Structure 1
Amino acid sequence: MTASRPRFGRRAALAGAVLLAAGLFSPAVQAAEPIKIGLVTALSGQSAQAGEAITRGLTIAIDEINAKGGLLGGRKLELVRRDDEANPAKGVIAARELIFKEKVAVLFGGLDTPVSLAIVPIANQEKVPFMGPWAAGTPVTKNGANPNFAFRVSAVDELVNVAMLEYAQKTFKAGKPGMILINNPWGESNEKGLKAALAAKSMSAVGIEKFEANDVDVVPQLSRLRSAGADVLFMVGNVGPSAQVVKSLDRMGWKVPIVSHWGPAGGRFTELAGPSAKNVHFVQTYSFFGKQSPVGEKVIAALKAKYPNIKGPDDITPAVGVANAYDGMQLAALAIEAAGSTDGDAIRQGFYKIGRYEGLIKTYDKPFSPGVHDAVGPQDYVWAQFIDNRILPVGIEN
């Protein structure tokens, strides 16, 4: 028996012609395609918990938006994730894949400042809006690009640094601060910001010490700070490195107050640092403990419904990953709607058209402008510490 491929081909062509005539290949059908939202973050390693928190914040927002009918006349949002393993080179590969292969409309990412600083130039070059839900390095948004496609709903180093100094003075009556900073671009960003914050009050650090991400003994650096008379330590480092600082202080028997950026909140800090983890006071942008706004109550309910392991605020950790990502996604959706398309430059300008939005962290009112790409400021920061392995606002014990 001979094959009937030619006849099948003619039938397929005829069917295609009928469908085309019926308008089923029209732009209206294409409009129903999902709008892809990209996420590059640490999904493995010591900071995986933070990457998962960002994922959950985005997912809850996307579910909410899709339940309301999606965007741009019914197009649903779809989250596409890639693991950067906290590595800038891998972050660049992931970002390029999401931009060029997946054609994402907005790219979220860069849990770590070095990763974000590697990705942002690509986003600017390819005109794809970048939304930062975690990395706090000042140059992420203040990157010199014009037009600038990098936006952020998160803490900002130069603002956190002012808050760190004010908190240290108010809480610990500190007058001789020392710095213990991770030796990478995030540490450099904070060194610059802390020096500026101190100079504004006619102060200076008694010492500035650096440590590497893989250091297991920071006693030499801390010993120099103790000899210099430091009465408080400003610490900047992610989970693992910060834990080594705390353990080194324990070995020294030096009980000095630690005022930290939010690095310790990103993963297994209490497990790695031990009992003294509770002595670290660190900044946050949100807490699910205490009385919640209607938006907060709605998000908690959605998290409980979608993730069986979430029974209450204890399980929503780190809270900043969830909160920043949730608000960032909602604001990005408003920008896409304002743009009326998924064109990158139109979305960039759409961010400037956002008016009032009642978010989780706060009620935003024109959060972005060409000169301001950071939606969260010092007035939105919360100070927290680990109590019984839970991140609680300072002063709240249960």
Structure 2
Amino acid sequence: MFSRVLKLAIAALSVAVSAYAQIAAPAPQAAQASAAQPVRIAMIEGLSGPLGNAGEAVHRNLVWAIERVNARGGLQLDLRRYDSKGQTEEALAALRAAIDDGARFIMQGNSSSVAAALIDAIDKHNERDPARRVLFLNYSAVDPILTNEKCSFWHFRFDAHADMRMAALMRVLQEDRTVRSVYLIGQDYSFGQAVLREARRQLGALRPDIQIVGEELHPIGRVKDFLPYAQKIKARTAEVRGTSAVITGNWGNDLTLLIKAAREAGYDGKFYTFYGNALGAPAALGAAGVGQVVAVADWLPNVPGAQSEVFYRAFRERFPRPEDDYVHMRMQLMMETLAQAIQKAGSTDATAVARALEQADVTLSGQRGRMRAGDHQFQQPLVVGVMARQAGDGEKDGVKFDVEGSGYGFRVIRQLKAEQAEQPTTCQMVRP
């Protein structure tokens, strides 16, 4: 009996070591150089200003993913960063500079309006200058229009779009019969508008009994004091008996400041969020957020499974500072997909790599994603989590991993397979 248990333990340890080796690439100085010419990648993102923390979080994810690819050998990726300051004109200038610098793969995500402008600019550039065609890999810009009416052969999205994320949240809200009123608030640009529009539609279809007591859009990245908004939310939701909820797609400091203001105003309702699982939001709410803040994501640190745990521990080992704790599985899959496509195409020619990307099917640490050729929308599982305390003595529903050293993390309450999260598209793809 002891021998059999020992053998099982050794086998489990072997699986863990193998999984760790798959994702725990060494730091840049330890990675082996390749004789091949490095493939230049340009990250165009807001790295300064009020939403700069979100851009820096992206950069850490891309660095880690590239270290893993480079450590395997056979392909060397070279990441260069360009600060758009969150502005469309700055992003377009950065695009021109990146192309002149030799980049053929452009990555951006933290603004759907910027992404839309980049798609238009890249479409025109690729038509005008076929010898220097580029591809746009989008990791976070989730306005549904980008893979529907504005779909482009040169654009690939690796995040679930806003309607997909909202549908996942609604699967939880639909069953939460305590919620009787909802306040909708978002950032005043294409993505924020899309979130509110889809929230109205899905609430009407799935929970017509819920009263929408307020709807508001605010300037993105410019509000310093959300207390007036929070006081209005509290007053409006108090007019309806029962539990209330805020639905928001806010991200970065716009979410953190909103949540802080809600706590200061004494709002005790729930938050259904797209990005409430990090970047200061859990720490801002503290104990008041336990059981009250819901977030949807492509992956969360407390997703059950040994491979998921090994993946997360490897990231925390690479970036040990608590404030650097925001790992995106989709960004890791994006880089794995690009590496796979370049190697399959046998070149960095944008057209050849795009055709390989259309057929991409990639797995990392138990998470699988595939690219849908019809609209270039990545299809992957989604999860919904609720904020909880980190496990400790007497903590019945505690989670193993907290967020940013806050003592609070997210317990997974719903998992959707890729085919459950998938939605139809209206894309009319024009191919070269």
TM score, norm. by length of structure 1 = 0.76
Work out the CA distance in 2 between the residues paired with 1:36 and 1:296: 31
Q: Report the alpha carbon displacement of residue 233 of structure 1 after superposing the two structures with TM.
A: 1.5
Relative to structure 1, the CA distance from residue 271 to residue 85 in structure 2 (aligned partners, 3 Å threshold; closer, same or farther) is farther
Q: What is aligned with 1:28?
A: none
- Kept after mapping to 1: 8 A contact 2:358/2:376: no
Q: What is aligned with 1:19?
A: none
Work out the CA distance in 2 between the residues paired with 1:90 and 1:386: 39
Work out the CA distance in 2 between the residues paired with 1:363 and 1:395: 18
Question: Among residues 338, 343, 353, which one is paired with 2:349 in the alignment?
Answer: 343
Relative to structure 1, the CA distance from residue 130 to residue 395 in structure 2 (aligned partners, 3 Å threshold; closer, same or farther) is closer
Work out the CA distance in 1 between the residues paired with 2:144 and 2:406: 30
Question: Among residues 202, 207, 212, which one is paired with 2:214 in the alignment?
Answer: 207
Letter of the 1:77 partner, please give it: L
Relative to structure 1, the CA distance from residue 48 to residue 276 in structure 2 (aligned partners, 3 Å threshold; closer, same or farther) is farther
Work out the CA distance in 2 between the residues paired with 1:265 and 1:45: 21
Correspondence list, 1:240-389, <5 A: 240-262=253-275, 264-265=276-277, 267-269=279-281, 276=288, 279-289=292-302, 291-294=304-307, 297=310, 300-301=313-314, 304=317, 306-307=318-319, 309=320, 317-320=325-328, 323-355=329-361, 357-360=362-365, 362-364=367-369, 367-377=370-380, 379-385=381-387, 387=389, 389=406
- Kept after mapping to 2: 8 A contact 1:114/1:185: yes
- Kept after mapping to 2: 8 A contact 1:134/1:324: no
Question: Among residues 181, 187, 200, which one is paired with 2:192 in the alignment?
Answer: 187
Letter of the 2:44 partner, please give it: V
Q: Does 1:57 align with 2:61?
A: yes
Work out the CA distance in 1 between the residues paired with 2:61 and 2:102: 22
- Kept after mapping to 1: 8 A contact 2:345/2:353: yes
Question: Among residues 120, 130, 139, which one is paired with 2:136 in the alignment?
Answer: 130
Q: Report the alpha carbon displacement of residue 328 of structure 1 after superposing the two structures with TM.
A: 0.5
Q: Which moved more, 1:156-165 or 1:61-70?
A: 61-70
- Kept after mapping to 1: 8 A contact 2:137/2:155: yes
CA deviations 1:146-172 (Å, max 9, x no partner) are x42221222310111112222223346
Letter of the 2:280 partner, please give it: R
- Residue 392 of structure 1 aligns to a residue whose secondary structure is strand
Q: Report the alpha carbon displacement of residue 53 of structure 1 after superposing the two structures with TM.
A: 2.9
Q: What is aligned with 1:41?
A: 45
Work out the CA distance in 2 between the residues paired with 1:53 and 1:210: 25
- Kept after mapping to 1: 8 A contact 2:256/2:279: no
Identity level (%): 19
Work out the CA distance in 1 between the residues paired with 2:82 and 2:124: 20
- Residue 353 of structure 1 aligns to a residue whose secondary structure is coil
- Kept after mapping to 1: 8 A contact 2:158/2:378: yes
Relative to structure 1, the CA distance from residue 368 to residue 134 in structure 2 (aligned partners, 3 Å threshold; closer, same or farther) is same
Q: Report the alpha carbon displacement of residue 351 of structure 1 after superposing the two structures with TM.
A: 0.9
C-alpha RMSD over aligned residues: 3.1
Work out the CA distance in 1 between the residues paired with 2:146 and 2:43: 16
Q: Gaps spanning 5+ residues in structure 1: where? A: 1-30
Q: Gaps spanning 5+ residues in structure 2: where? A: 1-34, 127-133, 390-404, 414-432
CA deviations 1:68-91 (Å, max 9, x no partner) are 2233xxxx2111111222222222
Work out the CA distance in 2 between the residues paired with 1:53 and 1:292: 24
Relative to structure 1, the CA distance from residue 302 to residue 208 in structure 2 (aligned partners, 3 Å threshold; closer, same or farther) is closer
CA deviations 1:209-238 (Å, max 9, x no partner) are 222333323146425632663822212212
Question: Among residues 212, 218, 226, which one is paired with 2:237 in the alignment?
Answer: 226
Q: Alignment length, in residue pairs?
A: 348
Q: Report the alpha carbon displacement of residue 185 of structure 1 after superposing the two structures with TM.
A: 1.4
Letter of the 1:168 partner, please give it: L
Q: What is aligned with 1:235?
A: 248
- Kept after mapping to 2: 8 A contact 1:284/1:384: no
Relative to structure 1, the CA distance from residue 56 to residue 247 in structure 2 (aligned partners, 3 Å threshold; closer, same or farther) is closer
Q: What is aligned with 2:77?
A: 77
TM score, norm. by length of structure 2 = 0.70
